[in-house]
Each structure stands twice: as structure tokens, then as C-alpha cells.
Amino acid sequence: MDAEMVSLISNIVIGLSAIIVAIAAVPGFYAWRRQLTGKAKFDLARDLMLTGFRLKARFEDARNPFSYSTESADRSRQESETPGASQILDEWYARASRLKPLQEDLIKIQEASWEAQILLSEDSSKSVSEAVKVYRHNFAELSSAIYSYFEERHRGATSRGANIDEDWLKELHETIYSRTDDNFSKQIDKATSKLESALQVYVK
């Protein structure tokens, strides 16, 4: 057998070997890809659940009826403030400050919900989006209530011609200050439970 024939046979054997190796590697490649995708889904679902639980706790903290002097210690004060106005402004400052960590977690869960639309099933991502919608709506409601309530109370305390609707103020007060069985709390609890149910399959 001459050298040319040997070289030809050798090339054929090498080519066949490469094809066999490539075919054998296909199942391993898909298994590796499934493993990576599974890990990405696990990490995303875990982060979503943790952020959801944290948001629930943040809402509870934000609406805690009790506030403390340390929460308004760094508020800038004016010499002309009356004791009554100062008390209202301190409480306003404390309540507004509690919204900041809530807002940060809302941004995180909103960004994660977009990723869920890519990685998770249609039903799961829909449940995530619906839960995030409730969180955002309630945050907006709470923020608006805090501003409106304390703006009106401060207006009354400084005698700037306030025409206060007491029924409206009562509604705002109920939004700002928590009761564990009120509609606001139930909405947050329901959204968090829905989020947890939709994601449990990915973190088992």
C-alpha cells in the first residue's frame, strides 16, 4: 500500500472519528445547556421570591403605626416652626423615609419580572407580572396618601386656610397606618402568596 493510499485512509478515519465525537457530544451539550438554563431559572425564581418576601416586610414596616424620634432626627428644621407643625413634619419625614427601601426593592422586582418573561413559563411569568403590578399600585397609593395626608395636616397646623375633608383624611390615615386585616395588607399578602406559588416549581 503506497503512502498516498495510507494518507487517504488516515484522513477518512480521522474524519469519521471527528463525526463520531461530534455526535457523541450532542447529548452532553444539550444536558449542559439544560443545566445552565435550570440554574438560571433557579437563581431568578429564588431572587424573585426573596424580593417578594422583603417587599411584604417593607410594606409592613412602612405602615407600622409607631414611629420613633430617631427617624426624623436629621430633618432640617426652621426656627419659625410651631411645636404642632414640627410634630407633623417629623412624622411626615419618617413616613416618607420608609418608602425609600420599598422603592429600591420595587425596581429590583420589576427588572427581574422582565427577565422572567424570557426564562420562565408563560403562566409563571404572568403570575409574577400580576404580583408586581399589585406591589406597584399599592406603593403608589401609599406614597400619595402620605403626601396628601400630611400636606393637609400641615396646612391646618399653620392656618393657611385649610378646608379639611375629615372623611377623606380618615381614608388616607387608614392607608398609611396598618391593620393586619385591612384590605391593603390583604392585597400584599395575596400578591406575595401568588408569587411564591408560581415560583416554587423552580426552586425545589
Tell me how far CA of residue 92 lies from CA of 39, 46, 122, 170, in angstroms. 44, 35, 41, 16
Amino acid at 127: S
8 A C-beta contact, residue 116 and residue 48: yes
Query: Where would I find the H helices in the chain?
Result: 3-62, 83-119, 122-157, 166-176, 183-203
Orientation angle between helical segments 3-62 and 183-203, nearest 10 degrees? 160
- Give SS3 for 63: coil
Per-residue pLDDT of the chain in tens (204 residues, 90 and over written 9): 555 555 555 555 555 555 554 454 444 434 434 454 578 888 999 999 999 999 999 999 999 999 888 998 899 988 888 888 899 999 999 999 999 999 999 999 999 999 999 989 999 999 999 999 999 999 999 999 999 999 988 888 887 655 678 899 999 999 999 877 899 999 999 999 999 999 998 887
Instruction: Count the neighbouring beta carbons within 10 Å of the beta carbon of residue 125.
Output: 18
Indicate whether this model's pTM tops 0.85. Answer: no
8 A C-beta contact, residue 76 and residue 154: no
Give the distance between the most distant pair of CA atoms in the chain: 112
Give the burial string for 174-198 (b: 16+ CB within 10 Å, else e).
Answer: ebbbbeeeeebbebbeebbebbbeb
